[in-house]
């Protein structure tokens, strides 16, 4: 099985034995991370116990890194399971970790149907990467 290495071009922050942490290229908010198993599986019940433990450990690790670097006031953490739930790749689950701040939605989102991200994604990547080395 081909394992990805840390890769700035692909915004990969961490690659472990069973899971990886990647920045979302199309974030809902600055610092939006994805935590995924290497294996392509459609649901949580398809993961091994070791994959489940590693996945959750890296969700916790990611939240810790975001707290240290970005000081969010809260988080949205979740999964989209299945096509009708919004899963882009139906047979590959991943956790979304979205840092949130009071007032982080604004006029641009409501009126212009666009998101304003206050920091370039590469700058955020550099700040977060040190927490995954």
Q: Where are the domains of the chain?
A: 12-129
Task: Tell me what pLDDT residue 5 has.
Answer: 55
Residue 118's pLDDT band (cuts 50, 70, 90)? confident
**Predicted TM-score of the model (pTM):** 0.83
Main-chain dihedrals φ then ψ at residue 75, nearest 5 degrees: -145, 150
The Cα–Cα gap between 73 and 91 comes to: 32
Which positions are annotated as active-site residues?
94
Q: Which CATH number fits domain 12-129: 3.30.428.10, 2.40.30.10, 3.90.1150.10, 3.30.360.10?
A: 3.30.428.10
């Amino acid at each position: 099985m081909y394992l990805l290495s840390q890769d700035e071009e692909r915004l990969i922050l961490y690659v472990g034995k069973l899971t990886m942490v990647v920045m979302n290229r199309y974030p809902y908010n600055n610092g939006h991370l994805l935590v995924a198993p290497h294996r392509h599986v459609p649901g949580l019940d398809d993961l091994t116990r070791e994959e489940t433990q590693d996945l959750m450990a890296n969700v916790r690790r990611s939240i810790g890194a975001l707290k240290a670097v970005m000081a969010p006031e809260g988080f949205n953490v979740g999964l989209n399971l299945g096509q009708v739930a919004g899963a882009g790749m139906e047979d590959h689950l991943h956790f979304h970790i979205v840092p949130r701040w009071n007032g982080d939605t604004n006029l641009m989102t409501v009126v212009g149907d666009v998101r304003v991200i206050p920091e370039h994604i590469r700058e955020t990547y550099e700040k977060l990467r040190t927490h995954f080395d």
